Amino acid sequence: MTEPPISRGFRGRGRGDQSARVPPGQHLVTDFPVLSAGPTPEPDLSGWRFTLEDGDTPLGAWSWAEFNALPQTDVVVDIHCVTTWSKLDTEWRGVSFDTLLEAAGLSEPPGPFTLIHCDGGYTTNVPSEDLVDGKAMVATLYDGEALHPEHGGPARLLVPHLYFWKSAKWVRRIQFLDEEQPGFWEENGYHIYGDPWREQRYDGD
Ligand SMILES: Nc1nc2c(c(=O)[nH]1)N[C@H]1C(S)=C(S)[C@@H](COP(=O)(O)O)O[C@H]1N2
Ligand SMILES: [Mo]
């Protein structure tokens, strides 16, 4: 079958060739499933801090008010969960990783790898280069509203080009590392990188 000549950057919401946007082994959903390895933490905005660290050295820290005063970015992206659901055209607002680096006075990531830390102890690893150049943000709004606690509110990482387990909910700390350190699912049989287009679901895929 020949593909119609649709430009990926020029598609209307809900139109165009949707099948070309669904990675192998995935199916589309219109609801928004909740997947958490543990309980949803109680939101506590007064105690909330977001920190960037190079190893154990602090690079920057923001209170909830300070974080929300940073320049905000809007994105509309497709997301892909390793449990095989994909959801098209999800709308998010938050602080791009590039803005965070800049706010910390950095022109580039200080290390090639990151480990992402969350309230509740969940972790995931993402290479630094997969977070820069508009590829990732810390999102605080979904679909124009404060991110629901079940979906990671007050703030979650959003790395839509990787399987959604990399989009860590209740994110609090991004730690730069010189060597790759696997996170929670990566230590439990899932792929160290997790590219949905190469179907990197499990270790060894
Ligand atoms: N802190 C934390 N983040 C997490 C998870 C988790 O269990 N804890 N689950 C991951 C997985 S496997 C997926 S598919 C998505 C699910 O996000 P959702 O519940 O908003 O759909 O969150 C990811 N981020
Ligand atoms: Mo997932």
Structure tokens at 143: 């679909």
Mutate to test the pocket of ligand 1, among 34, 35, 86 (most ligand atoms within 8 A of CB): 35
Instruction: Going residue by residue through the chain, which has 205 residues, state the pLDDT in tens, using 9 for 90 and above.
Output: 344 444 444 444 455 689 999 999 999 999 999 999 999 999 899 999 999 999 999 999 999 999 999 999 999 999 999 999 999 999 999 999 999 999 999 999 999 999 999 999 999 999 999 999 999 999 999 999 999 999 999 999 999 999 999 999 999 999 999 999 999 999 999 999 999 999 999 999 9
In CATH, what number does 49-73+92-198 get?
3.90.420.10
Q: Is 118 touching ligand 1 by the criterion CB < 6 Å?
A: yes
pTM of the shown model:
0.93
d(C-alpha 26, C-alpha 135), whole Å: 21
Whose CA is closest to atom 20 on ligand 1? 151
73 CA from centroid of ligand 2 (Å): 24
Structure tokens at 72: 């905000």
Give the position of tokens 């699912």: 185
State the virtual CA torsion across 100, 130, 171, 39 in degrees, nearest 10.
170
Domain segments of the chain as ranges: 49-73+92-198
Whose CA is closest to atom 22 on ligand 1? 165
Peptide bond into 71 cis (omega under 30): no
Q: Is 67 touching ligand 1 by the criterion CB < 6 Å?
A: no
Q: What pLDDT, on the 0 to 100 scale, is given for residue 9?
A: 45
Q: What pLDDT, on the 0 to 100 scale, is given for residue 43?
A: 86
